[in-house]
Chain A
Amino acid sequence: MTGEQDRFAKGVLLEARGIKKSYKRGDNPFCAADNISLSINPGEFIGITGRSGSGKSTLMNILAGLMTPDEGEVFFEGKSYKKMTDRELSALRCNGLGYIMQGLSVLPNFTVYENILIPEWLDRRRKSSPKDILKAMKKVGIAHLKRQYPSRLSGGELRRVSIARALLSSPKLLIADEPTSDLDEETAENIVNILSDIAREGVAVLMVTHDREAAAKCGREYQMKNGVLT
C-alpha cells in the first residue's frame, strides 16, 4: 500500500491539494481558486459561504471533476482525478458523488420521476427498483409529485427533486451548490434540514451557500473570498 492510499484508508473521502484556477475577465486575469486545500471525511456536513464571484462554484465544479484546475490535485478515496478518464469521472458522479448544480437542475421536458431516473438511463449498470426511487422521493417529501413536470413545481420542490436524484445512487459525498438560493426562509431551512439528515446517515455533504444561518448548521464552516478559502 502506498503512503497516499494508506492516508486515505484512515478515512479521508475527498482531498483537494493546492487548487488554483484563474480566468480572464476581459484582459485582466481573475483568480477563482487560490491555492485551496480541503479534506472531507465521511458523514461530515461542511458549509462554504462567500459573496457572488468569490469562486465558490468554481471550487465545487473542480471538486466534482467537472472542471480541471490550473494547478493542484483532487483525490477521491485516494484516487487522483488526474489519473481518471472522463468516463471514470462521469461514472464517479453517477455513482459515488452526488452533485446538485446551482439554479435549475432538472430537465424541464421530463417528469419528476423521469428526472430522478436520468442517471439510471446514463449508466445501464445502475438498477434502482421503483421501491428505491419512491424511497428517495419520500425522503425529501416529493412522492406525490411523481408525474408532474418541473414547470408545475416550486423552487423548493425542484431542489428536492435534485436531492432525491443525487440520493438514488447512494453517494458517499453530496455536493450542493447554492441549494437554498431564491428560496423563502422556511423552505431554505427545510432543504438544509434534509441535507443535515443525509449527513447524519453517513453521507458527507458539502454545501455552498449565501445564507449564514444555513451555514451555521454545518459541522464545519468555511468562508471564501477572492478565491481564498479560510
Chain B
Amino acid sequence: MSLRIVFGNLRSRIYRTATLGLITAILAAVLFGGLVVSSCLKRGAEGLAARLGADLLIVAEGYDREMEGILLRGEPTSFYMDSEWIEKIASVDGVASVSPQLYVATLNSECCTASVQLIGYDTLSDFLILPWIKTGLPSKLEEHDIVVGGMIMGQVGDAVKFFNRDYRIAAKMENTGTGFDTSIFMTLSAARAAALDGYEIRKAAFTEMGIEYEDEYLPVPPPDNAISTIAVLAAEGETPTGILRNIQAKYGYNPGIVAVPANSIINTVSSGLRTVTYFIGNISVALWFISLLVLAVLFSAFIGERKREFGLLRSIGASKKKLAGTIMLESCAVSVIASLVGIIAAALIVFPFETYLRKSINLPYAELPLLKAGITALFAFILSSAAGPFATLFSLGKILKTDTMDIIREDLR
C-alpha cells in the first residue's frame, strides 16, 4: 500500500491526526514516566537494604523518627546520646560488632557551604560506609578529609567549609538511593569538633542579637564523646529481635535508648513503595485500557466518516486487504511517532527533575542506568505503539467482513 496515501491522509486531516497522536503520546509519557519512577524507587529500596548493612540501630529515646528522616530522606538534624552505650551494647549477647555514628546538621548561613547532614563515623569499627566508597579513599582519613554522598556536588580534591572550618573532599560514595546520598561523612572526632563549632556559632549569634542565654532557645552543647546512633551487627544465628530481647533483659524496658531493627525501616520504605508503585501500576494499566477504548471509539468514528473514501478506493482497485493495510499503516504511523514524542517528553521531565521528584515522593530513589532506562523506554514504546493498531482492529473487522458498498449504502440511507 502506498505510503503516499497514508501520509497524504494524515497530513490533510491534521486535527484528527493530532487528536490520535496526543492520546498516544500521553499514554507513552505516562507509561514511560511511571515505569522509570517505579524502577528508581525499587532500586532505591534495594539500595537502602544493602546500604544499611546493620541489623539494628540504637538511638536515644525519642529520636527514632529523626534517624529515619536522615536514612530515608537526608533531612539534616542533630541529636546525641551517651557514648557509654557503645560498650554497653557491645556487651549484649548476640552482638557481633558495633559502630557508632554522630549526626550533625550544618547551617544554611555564611559559615557553611551548604546545609547538609554531617555524619561522623568510627573509621576503625565501621562496616557501613567503606563498602560504598566509589573513588579511592586515602589509607587514613584526616580530620579535614570528608567523604561525600553520590548526589553531593563537588569532586575529589574540592574544598568546602562547614562552621568556618575548611575540609577537602577525599572520596565520593556511590549513589545508594537513601538519605546518605546527600550526606557528608567524616571521622567521628572531626564530627564532634564540627558539632561543637556549630554550637559555639549558634551561641555567638544569640549573644550578638542581645538575647539572653536560655536553654529553651539554645541547643544543648554536645556531650563529651558524643554519638547519635550505634549500628549493630548480629552474630551468626542471632536475630535483631533476639538482640532486642537481650538488651531489654540486661538494661530493662526503659533504658533511655531505642533499638530499631533495620528491617523495620526497610519495611516502612517497602510499604510506602508498595503504595506508590501500586498507584503508578494501576494508573498505567487503567490509562492503557482507557486509551484503547478512546482510540477505538475515535478510530471507529473517523473510519465511519471515511466510508465514502473507502468506497472510492475500492472502486478504483483497492482490495479489502489493501484498504485495511492503509488504515492500519495510518494508525501505526501515528502511534509510532506519537509514542516517540511522548517518551522523549517524559524523559525531558523525569530525568532533569529527578531531584525534585525525589523530594516530592519522599522515598529512597536511585537513578536508572542507561541500559535499564533504554529497556524501559522500549517497553513503554511497544505498549503505547500497540494501543492504536489494536484499537483499529475493531473497526477493520467490519470493513473486511462487509461489502464496502453495503457499508456506503448504510451511510447514505
Which of B50-58, B129-137, B287-295, B398-406 faces chain A? B398-406
The yes or no answer to A114 lying at the interface (CB within 8 A) is yes
CB of B403 within 8 A of CB of A66, answer yes
Out of B308, B317, B320, B409, which one reaches A123, CB within 8 Å?
B317
The minimal Cβ–Cβ distance linking A160 to chain B, given in whole angstroms, is 15
Determine if B309 and A107 form an interchain contact, defined as CB atoms under 8 angstroms apart: yes
Q: Is the CB of A90 within 8 A of B403?
A: no
B406 touches A67 (CB 8 A): yes
A-B contact pairs, 19 of them (CB 8 A): A66-B403, A67-B406, A91-B319, A93-B314, A93-B316, A93-B317, A94-B317, A95-B317, A99-B316, A105-B312, A107-B8, A107-B312, A109-B9, A110-B12, A114-B4, A118-B5, A118-B313, A122-B317, A122-B322
Confirm or deny: A222 has a beta carbon within 8 angstroms of a beta carbon on chain B.
no
B→A interface (CB under 8 Å):
1-2, 4-5, 8-9, 11-13, 308-309, 311-322, 403-406, 409
Q: Taking the nearest CB of chain B, how far is it from the CB of A30, in angstroms?
A: 11
Residue on A nearest B326 in the bound complex, by CB: A122
* Contact status A90-B314, CB under 8 Å: yes
Q: How many A-B residue pairs have CB under 8 A?
A: 76
Which residues of A are interface residues toward B (Cβ below 8 A)?
23, 61, 64, 66-68, 86-87, 89-91, 93-95, 99, 101, 103-110, 114, 118-119, 121-123, 165-166, 169
5 pairs of A and B residues whose beta carbons are closest in the complex: A94-B317, A109-B12, A121-B2, A90-B319, A61-B405
Please name all residues of chain A whose beta carbon is closer than 8 Å to the beta carbon of B314 when the two chains form the complex. Answer: 66, 90, 93
Select which of A93, A114, A119 is within 8 A of B8 by beta carbon.
A114
Are the CB atoms of B8 and A90 closer together than 8 Å? no
Q: Are A94 and B406 in contact (CB under 8 A)?
A: no
Docked complex Cα distance between A90 and B317 (Å):
4
Cross-interface CB contact of A64 among B13, B315, B320, cutoff 8 Å: B315
**Distance from B1 Cβ to chain A, minimum over Cβ atoms (Å):** 8
Alpha-carbon separation in the docked complex, A110 to B409 (Å):
24
When chains A and B are docked, how far (Å) is the Cα of A13 from the Cα of B405? Answer: 23
Which residues of chain A are near B322, meaning CB under 8 Å?
90, 122
Contacts of A93 in B (CB 8 A): 314-317
- Chain A's closest residue to B4 (CB) is A121
With a cutoff of 8 Å between Cβ atoms, the chain B residues found around residue A90 in the complex are 314, 317-320, 322
Out of A91, A104, A106, name the residue touching B317 (CB < 8 Å). Answer: A91
Tell me whether B321 and A101 are in contact (CB under 8 A).
Answer: no
A23: B residues at CB distance < 8 A: 409
| Shortest distance between the CB of B388 and any CB in chain A (Å) | 20
Q: B333 to nearest A CB, angstroms?
A: 15
- B316 and A66 within 8 A (CB): no
> 14 more A-B contacts (CB under 8 A) besides A90-B317, A91-B319, A109-B9?
A66-B315, A66-B403, A66-B405, A86-B320, A87-B319, A89-B319, A90-B322, A93-B315, A95-B317, A105-B315, A110-B12, A122-B1, A122-B2, A169-B317
